[in-house]
Amino acid sequence: MDIFKFGGASVKDAAGVKNLANIVRDYKNGNLLIVISAMGKITNRLEDLTHAYLSQSDEAHAIFDEIKNFHFQIIDTLFEGKANPVYDDVANTFVEIDWLIEDEPDNDVDYIYDQIVSIGEVVSTKIVAAWLNETGSKSLWVDARNFIQTDNTYKEGKVDWLKSNQIIQRDLVPLLHENIIVTQGFIGGTSENYTTTLGREGSDYSAAIFASCLNAAALTIWKDVPGVLNADPKWFDETEKIAQLSYHDAIELTYYGATVIHPKTIKPLQNKGIPLFVRSFIQPEGFGTAITKENNPLPVPSFIFKVNQALISIFPKDYSFIIEENLSKIFERFHKHKIKINTMLNSAISFSVSVDDRSAQIEKLINDLSTEFTIKYNKGLELVTIRYYNQNTIDRVTVDKEILLEVKSRHTCQMVMKNKIA
Ligand SMILES: Nc1ncnc2c1ncn2[C@@H]1O[C@H](COP(=O)(O)OP(=O)(O)O)[C@@H](O)[C@H]1O
Ligand SMILES: N[C@@H](CC(=O)OP(=O)(O)O)C(=O)O
């Protein structure tokens, strides 16, 4: 059996849903489970709705109406106004949120976030399952929250692998023999049946969980690019497709920020030796990229850009070395304020890190550290990571840039830079 994952970009409109159905219709290799994300950028709008509701802004109802209209327009285009149970099914899902936002919010903001934001995936899968059935691909909508079991860390649910595996084996495997299964990415359920989400962009990870628990032959992620490229085409005019990538390189690239695949996706697949194919839903006949255990080095250097970086330099006030005790204090504070370090470098009495610039969090971190450390803080920077770098590639990305921090290992070079002042 195979797993297909379709992200928001592939189902951003009715034409996308039809294209998905064509890809599914052409699949002839046996049982299939499809994991789908929310349509287009709806998760961002659901986040806006959550914030509006939590701050009791008048905008909440207008945003929610816009979200509903967006989906009903897609349903209207697909079904051309013909009576189909999907209208009621989707309307009933929205009613749950109508009820929720009628009441005043309580303090559990992450819980509220998950109950609202998760409906993007619930609704998109209902629409796609209905369309597959309408066009002759016999499909069954299943609720991922019954299968992907998590703890109650709302917004970042931690997967209970043992329990999820047992339930998937017991309840999902029998359903696969008769239908194409359509389910949601990004969402899970707690033991008390509350909805959790697995972290933004988490649908790839969901697909990998299903692939692992079902011992799938392969996972295919359908994208708007021909496969994994050696750089994000949004930043680079000239990119090359990488036909084959090792699990190891895939983890490194995604960890450093190649947003084409969620970084947590690779491990479950690697652990079971399940290949991951990244293919284009625009040109489904293309081969895409195969991510497998084959350990060939990348044929070309790969670039990852992250903008909006802050460089924080930390110096012990008492001039003590940056060794175990100071390092553990510093890491403990980063952990406490949930700030992810993108790259780091230390000297005898300084420790520098580049992080995504989220001012409110960083301010709290700096306050917390400043009793014992002197802090210097630089904003508006870029971080470039080059996997399999050479001097040419470094020269190419550093034209007119001043390098503030550089970290090199055998295969990876990272530089934090700013524009040179003319
Ligand atoms: N190395 C890379 N190779 C291919 N695409 C990349 C790479 N790095 C970033 N991307 C970006 O990832 C995008 C696809 O991801 P995304 O828009 O999140 O899709 P989806 O909604 O299907 O999850 C591409 O359009 C591309 O801009
Ligand atoms: N819809 C969720 C989960 C996800 O992974 O979406 P996508 O597959 O479109 O990146 C999000 O936007 O975070």
Q: What is the pLDDT of residues 305-350, one digit of tens each?
A: 999 999 999 999 999 999 899 999 999 999 999 899 999 998 999 9
Q: What is the pLDDT of residue 309?
A: 95
pLDDT in tens, 116-153: 999 999 999 999 999 999 999 999 999 999 999 999 99
pLDDT in tens, 1-57: 999 999 999 999 999 999 999 999 999 888 999 999 999 999 999 999 999 999 999
Cα angle value 241/254/206 (rounded, 5°) = 105
**C-alpha of residue 40 to centroid of ligand 2, in Å:** 9
- CA distances from residue 186 to 122, 304, 316 in whole angstroms, order as listed: 10, 24, 41
**C-alpha of residue 223 to centroid of ligand 1, in Å:** 7
132-159 b/e with 16+ CB inside 10 Å = b? bbeeebebbbbebbbbbbbeeebebbeb
How would residue 375 be classed by pLDDT, with cut points 50, 70 and 90?
Answer: very high
As a whole-number percent, the residues of the chain with pLDDT over 90 amount to 88
User: Which residue is associated with the tokens 């090359």?
Assistant: 240
Q: What is the pLDDT of residue 29?
A: 87
Structure tokens at 281: 């839903």
Q: What is the pLDDT of residue 166?
A: 98
Residues paired with residue 241 on neighbouring β-strands, in sequence order: 229
Mean predicted lDDT score pLDDT of the chain: 95
Q: Quick check: 389 pLDDT over 80?
A: yes
Q: Say yes or no: CB of residue 224 within 6 Å of ligand 1.
A: yes
Q: Quick check: 81 pLDDT over 80?
A: no
Q: Could you report the predicted ipTM of this complex, rounded to two decimals?
A: 0.98
Say whether 89 sits in a helix, a strand or coil.
Answer: helix
Q: What is the pLDDT of residue 83?
A: 87
- CA distances from residue 55 to 79, 114, 120, 260 in whole angstroms, order as listed: 37, 16, 21, 33
How would residue 297 be classed by pLDDT, with cut points 50, 70 and 90?
Answer: confident
Counting Cα atoms < 13 Å in the Cβ hemisphere of 387 gives 25
- Other beta carbons within 10 angstroms of residue 131's beta carbon come to 25
| Four-residue CA torsion sign, 135, 136, 137, 140 | positive
Residue 163, phi then psi, degrees to nearest 5: -65, -45
Structure tokens at 80: 């051309």
**C-alpha of residue 302 to centroid of ligand 1, in Å:** 14
Determine which residue's CA is closest to atom 9 belonging to ligand 2: 8
Determine which residue's CA is closest to atom 13 belonging to ligand 1: 260
Q: What is the pLDDT of residue 50?
A: 97
Q: Which residues contact 382 (CB under 8 A, 6 or more apart)?
A: 305, 306, 307, 309, 401, 416, 417, 418
SS3 content of the chain, % helix, strand, coil (to 5): 40, 25, 35
pTM of the complete model: 0.93
Q: Can you tell me the mean pLDDT for 99-119?
A: 93
**C-alpha of residue 119 to centroid of ligand 2, in Å:** 12
Identify the residues whose C-beta falls under 6 Å from ligand 2: 7-8, 37-38, 43, 120, 185-186, 200-203
Rg of the chain in Å (alpha carbons):
23
Ligand 1 atom showing the smallest separation from residue 223 Cα: 22
Q: Can you tell me the mean pLDDT for 227-254?
A: 93
Q: What is the pLDDT of residue 393?
A: 92
Cα angle value 194/196/199 (rounded, 5°) = 175
How would residue 107 be classed by pLDDT, with cut points 50, 70 and 90?
Answer: confident
Q: What is the pLDDT of residue 417?
A: 96
**Measured between alpha carbons, how far is 92 from 96 in angstroms, rounded to an integer?**
7
Ligand 2 atom showing the smallest separation from residue 205 Cα: 5
Q: What is the pLDDT of residue 301?
A: 93
Query: CA end-to-end span of the chain, whole Å?
Result: 58
Q: Can you tell me the mean pLDDT for 196-221?
A: 97
Identify the CA nearest to 114 among candidates 61, 193, 187, 62: 187
Q: What is the pLDDT of residue 17?
A: 98
Q: Which residues contact 134 (CB under 8 A, 6 or more apart)?
A: 78, 79, 84
Q: What is the pLDDT of residue 370?
A: 95
Say whether 241 sits in a helix, a strand or coil.
Answer: strand
Q: Residue type for 374, please?
A: T
- Other beta carbons within 10 angstroms of residue 8's beta carbon come to 23
Residue 349 · residue 322 · CB < 8 Å: yes
Q: Regarding beta strands 180-184 and 139-141, do their DSSP bridges make them parallel or antiparallel, or are they unpaired?
A: parallel
Ligand 1 atom showing the smallest separation from residue 6 Cα: 22
Q: Regarding beta strands 32-36 and 2-6, do their DSSP bridges make them parallel or antiparallel, or are they unpaired?
A: parallel
Identify the CA nearest to 306 among candidates 229, 399, 383, 414: 383
Q: Quick check: 268 pLDDT over 90?
A: yes
Q: What is the pLDDT of residue 109?
A: 94
**Measured between alpha carbons, how far is 22 from 181 in angstroms, rounded to an integer?**
16
Residues paired with residue 36 on neighbouring β-strands, in sequence order: 6, 184
As a whole-number percent, the residues of the chain with pLDDT over 70 amount to 100
Q: Quick check: 298 pLDDT over 90?
A: no
Pick the range with the lowest mean pLDDT from 25-29, 298-302, 365-369.
Answer: 298-302
**DSSP tag of 11:** G
Q: Quick check: 185 pLDDT over 90?
A: yes
Structure tokens at 259: 């947003």
Q: Can you tell me the mean pLDDT for 247-256?
A: 91
**C-alpha of residue 37 to centroid of ligand 2, in Å:** 5
Identify the CA nearest to 68 among candidates 36, 90, 35, 44: 90
